[in-house]
Structure 1
Amino acid sequence: MDLRGRALLSGDRLRILLMLFHAMAQIVAEQEVENLSGLSTNPGKDIFVVRENGTTCLMAEFAAKFIVPYDVWATNYVDLITEQAEIALTRGAEVNGRCGHNESELQVFWVDRAYTLKMLFVKESHNTSKGPEATWRLSKVQFVYDTSEKTHFKDPVSAGKHTANSHHLAALVTPAGMSYECQAQQSISLASSDPQKTVTMILSAVHIQPFDIISDFVFSEEHKCPVDEREQLEETLPLILGLILGLVIVITLVIYHIYHKMTANQVQIPRDRSQYKHMG
């Protein structure tokens, strides 16, 4: 091959490389993930945002911790004792995610990826007596943890990575087009690959919307969890009853005042019949 042919071939390779670089840059630009925990006044809460094509497609705010049982040797080095590690999702964690029409996922990594949280959301349509209705829910949680990480695990037996998964999960069920909000604590059990161990995930101060976000960085109308609604009712019920009682007292006093005024204006009939002759 002559020099001209080689130059053309090199030029073609350069164009191909430039096209691949442009395509990769475009893919990166189309999806952005951000950890906005610094905007939260709650030091234990993280705020995660996934954006695609320049607009927000998933937003999640929550505080999370994991209660992880693990085995250590007893003092006799024969028996095993089960200890518990409490692992909090720390602020500033690394985040990844993806958005879809009917399926979205949030991935969070912290402590040099010793811990990974994956949350899968699905949107479904159901036939009801009122017609088809769409809802979304948290359908799967996966937590990967490394018991060789020394901050939370002290002298574990057989240290290493384990994976804990939810089974048949239907949590945070919310009407489509709305966000889910719940201040109360919620627990989700996860079956661990560490034999006979169950990891407990505790969520609190939750505000999540994985689908149908209309305004960039803005949640849609909130769908409150039943626990929050019950607590709100318990807080407002004494106030409502107090207002009703106060209103009843006021009405009673008004009626009594009117009755007293009417009877005061009537002619008083003497009880002693001998006084009748002085009347008229």
Structure 2
Amino acid sequence: MMMMRAFFSYLFFLLFHFGCFTSSSHHHHHHHHPTKKRTLFSYLKRLFSSSSASHIPPPPPSIPSPSSSTRSLRLNPPLIAPLHDTDTARVDIHPCTVCGEIFQTPAFLHHHQSSKHGVSDLVDGENIVRIIFKTGWPAKTPAIHRILKIHNTPRVLARFEDHRERVRSAGTKSSRCAADGNELLRFYCTTFICSLDSAICNQQFCGACAIIRCGFSQKLDGIPTLPTGWKAHAAVPDDVEEEFGFMNVKRAMLVCRVIAGRVGTLSHDHEIDSLVGPADDELLVFSPRAILPCFVIVYTV
């Protein structure tokens, strides 16, 4: 009986202490552990927030507004930077209208067209050019071997038209200047030493190719142009082919459009564009931009 009482007393003691432990543990769980959990969570949150923020690159200064598309560009910058104006200029293309070859600058295209496609055999209008050239010859009849059409580049044509506009604006008192700049058809005789095919040569003493490629040279006393093929032919010495036969020099006639503008008779007049020469029918043009060669006639007399 004493043993039973002692057992129940021990059991009651154990239950009492177990209940206190449970209550103490439960009380500790509700009052202390959540604080530890919140402290740990706050620390982890601060740790990951600072870590991720340190890996986000700062927004570039050139991106302006805070729109949604801008924010996406800030967080995900493109791998390839956008092209600037200078980059765009470098990738411009200038195709040749004859052969289709591509060039990066207008200067390269101009050199290609004037060198490779400067002239071609004239098909349409050959009879008209032939008649114009043969008109005015007194006794000698020229033998025409080839008539070539000059393919002036867009830059040369623009330069010619710009000069016309300048003459028109300056010569408003003359109705002819105001209309077309007083444009005339004139002849200019020169020589050449190449085959004068579609590809223009770069030889120093080939006068026809030099004019087709670069235009007329500036001359202080003016560039002489004549009204007929015969007069232009007579302006070059008759023995030029014989004298320079060792260079295979041949004669060529250029048929040109000329903007005469205001024609004067005195060389000291600064308000004129061209001057009547000593032979009365010779017209001296002071600006190379005023002369546009259109046809090349290869001939012999």
Report if TM-score (shorter chain) is over 0.5.
no
TM tier relative to shorter chain: under 0.3
Q: Which has the higher strand share?
A: 1
From the two aligned structures, give the one with the greater helix fraction: 2
Task: Compare relative contact order (CA 8 Å, sep 6+) and give the higher one, 1 or 2.
Answer: 2
Structure showing greater radius of gyration is: 2
TM-score, structure 1 length as denominator? 0.25
